[in-house]
Amino acid sequence: MGDGMLKKLSIRKIILSSLALFAMFLIYIIPSNDNTLDIKEELEYVNTNIESSPIFLMDQNSYMALTSVAVNDTNIENKAKQLIKVLTIGGMDSKIPSGFSAIIPPNTEVLSLSYEKGLIKVDFSKDILDVSEDLEEKMVEAIVYTLTSIDGVDKMIIYVEGDILTKLPKTKINLPSTLDKTFGINKEFDLTSTKDITDVTIYYINQINDNYYYVPVTKYINDDRDKASIIIDELSNNFDFNKNLMSFLNDGTELVSSVVKDGQMQLNFNKNILNDAVSEDISEETLEMISLSVGANYDVEEVVFNVDDRELYKIALK
C-alpha cells in the first residue's frame, strides 16, 4: 500500500515468483539431476509455507493497528500460536515492524490451543492478567482481531488456567464467553441517547516515517443510517488532530448509493473521489481505507467502486 504494508507484500510475492521462474529456467538449461530438483522443491516449499499474516500491534499512539508479520506455517493452530508469540512482549520481537510493539505481558504461555469449525480456543497462563489496567481491554482486542483475521477463523474463546475469561479483573469489563470482531477495537463512544445506537468500525490511516498503516476504530453513535453512509461521512473528516488519525478521502466526496448483492458491495460515488478527473484514478490509500472499513461491517467478498454509475475498481476482500 503506497510504501506501506500492501505494497511490501506485493513486492515479496513478485520476488518469490521471480525466483520460481529462475528455477524453471535452470531446469530447462541444465540436465536433469538431483540438485535441480532440490532447488525447485525448496522454492515451492518457501512459496507455500511462508506468508504474511495480519496482526494487530500497538502503535506509538497506543492504538491497536493493522500490520503484518511473516508466518512460516499454514496450519491454523500453528499459525495462531506464532501470532500470539509475536503479540507477547519478548516473544518474537525480531518479527515486529519498526514503530509497533507487543502487548501481552512477558512470560505469558499458551497452555493449550485448539481449532474446530471456525472456533479457536486458547488457554493462557495467569501471567496474561499482569497487563496494566489501561491496556487490559486493548490486549483482548488485539488477540481477538488477530486470531479472527486468520482465514477460516470466525470466533474464539479465551481461557486463563482452564477457566473462561468472562471479566477483566482490573477494569471489571464483562466479556462474552465467545469473542469475535463484534467486540470492537480502539473503541470510541459518542452517544447522546440510548436510542438508535449503531457500532461501526472504520479504518483510518496513520504514518511511521514514509510508511502508511491502518487503524480501525469502533465508534458507538446514535445513527440509524446504513453503515456505508456512516463510513464515508466519518472519513470525510480528513484529520483528527487529537487522535492522530488521517483520512485521504477528497473534499466533497459523496456516496450516491450503496447496494449489497451477490457477495459484493457496490459503492457509487460522485467525481470528487477521483484524484485526477482525466485519468480517473482513486488513490490506493483511499481504496484500501474504504475497503477495509466495508469488510469490517459487511459480510461481502468484494468492494466495487463506481463513479457516476461506471465501474472503476474492484477490490477483493477474501
Write the DSSP assignment of 228-271 as a string of letters: HHHHHHHHTS-EETTTTEE--PPTT--EEEEEEETTEEEEEE-G
State whether 45 and 58 are in the same domain. no
**What is the per-residue pLDDT for 239?**
56
State whether 276 and 238 are in the same domain. yes
**What is the per-residue pLDDT for 196?**
83
Percent of all residues in the chain with a pLDDT value above 70, rounded to a whole number: 82
Neighbours of 145 (CB within 10 A): 24
DSSP state of 28: H
* Number of domain units in the chain: 3
Last residue of a domain, one of 158, 181, 204: 181
| Residues spanned by the domain of 72 | 52-181
State whether 127 and 227 are in the same domain. no
| Residue pointed to by grid coordinates 459487511 | 298
State whether 248 and 259 are in the same domain. yes
Per-residue pLDDT, averaged over 209-231, amounts to 93
State whether 59 and 167 are in the same domain. yes
Where b means 16+ CB within 10 Å and e means fewer, 271-302 reads eebbeeeeeeebbbbbbbbbbbbbbbbbebeb
As a whole number of angstroms, the distance between CA 183 and CA 9 comes to 28
Quick check: 315 and 302 in contact, CB under 8 A? yes
Of the chain, the end-to-end C-alpha distance in Å amounts to 17
Q: Residue 217 pLDDT more than 50? A: yes
Quick check: 145 and 89 in contact, CB under 8 A? no
In this prediction, residue 51 has a pLDDT band, given cuts at 50, 70 and 90, of confident
State whether 122 and 84 are in the same domain. yes
State whether 79 and 64 are in the same domain. yes
State whether 134 and 118 are in the same domain. yes
Last residue of a domain, one of 181, 196, 221: 181
Last residue of a domain, one of 181, 214, 229: 181
Strands (E), 37-117: 51-58, 64-71, 110-116
**What is the per-residue pLDDT for 277?**
75
State whether 65 and 17 are in the same domain. no
**224 Cα distance to chain centroid:** 26
In this prediction, residue 131 has a pLDDT band, given cuts at 50, 70 and 90, of very high
State whether 27 and 81 are in the same domain. no
**What is the per-residue pLDDT for 162?**
96
Q: What is the pLDDT of residues 137-161, one digit of tens each?
A: 999 999 999 999 999 999 999 999 9
In this prediction, residue 210 has a pLDDT band, given cuts at 50, 70 and 90, of confident
Per-residue pLDDT, averaged over 204-223, amounts to 93
State whether 237 and 131 are in the same domain. no
State whether 105 and 76 are in the same domain. yes
Predicted structure pTM score: 0.82
Q: Whole-number mean pLDDT of the chain?
A: 85
Please count the CA atoms within 13 angstroms of the CA of 184 that sit on its side-chain side.
14
Per-residue pLDDT, averaged over 219-227, amounts to 93
